[in-house]
Amino acid sequence: EDQVTQSPEALRLQEGESSSLNCSYTVSGLRGLFWYRQDPGKGPEFLFTLYSAGEEKEKERLKATLTKKESFLHITAPKPEDSATYLCAVRGPHNNNDMRFGAGTRLTVKP
Amino acid sequence: GAVVSQHPSWVICKSGTSVKIECRSLDFQATTMFWYRQFPKQSLMLMATSNEGSKATYEQGVEKDKFLINHASLTLSTLTVTSAHPEDSSFYICSARDRAGYPPEQYFGPGTRLTVT
């Protein structure tokens, strides 16, 4: 069965302190790894989709990378407004109609 | 970007009553929509997948007679929680897949907070 594990569960950073969030997955025949941002009481906001090992995507202070076993979401010089829960999800050939989500990493950036 | 709306954003209902939640894709057509449930500090759990014009596919453990899903058009899906009980209180989130995009991207609604008293 496809599994997605995110670490750490929670992360507290000082403003400007760069760090990375990890998403480890086990799925045969990956058909997409997705990163979303979720603010409290709101739906997930799409950030990135990665499809193959070695792929990288960037958006403002965020950069997502993908290997055959895991993905990293790098946050460079974070700001307090980057505080949110970051969700990782995978889509495989056996669940082509949906995504399997990890539990998320709750990021808090202190000013 | 693609926008998915949900209505209502929050609802309180009494135990035993039914409540309907709407999910709309505002600027794209979605042949497939998904309904998720999220408990506090937990991740999203898929409840069912609905395809326009056909019956929804429910995940194991989700009662199809309790959670009625209708996907009557390419822009609207509804979830009706029938005979709601306090344990049905949760955050319900819908998602829609843009049929025009390749690869298909999936966009989420803002969620509906259901409280059953």
Residue B69 has pLDDT above 80, yes or no: yes
- pLDDT score, position B106: 83
Q: What is the pLDDT of residues A45-68, one digit of tens each?
A: 989 999 999 999 999 999 999 999
Residues 5-64 of A with CB under 8 A from B: 32, 34, 36, 41-46, 49, 51
**Highest mean pLDDT range out of A30-44, A61-75, B88-102?**
A61-75
Pairing of strands A62-66, A56-59: antiparallel
Q: What is the pLDDT of residues A70-80, one digit of tens each?
A: 999 999 999 99
Q: Is B67 helix (H, G, I), strand (E, B) or coil?
A: strand
The residue among B42 and A69 whose pLDDT is bigger is A69
Burial class (CB in 10 A: 0-12, 13-18, 19+), B5: middle
Burial A26-65 (b: 16+ CB within 10 A, else e): ebeebebbbbbbbeeebbbbbbbbbeeeeeeeeeeebbbb
Task: Find the mean pLDDT for residues A12-19.
Answer: 97
pLDDT grade for B42, boundaries at 50, 70 and 90: confident
- Which of B10, B42, B106 to mutate: most A Cβ within 10 Å? B106
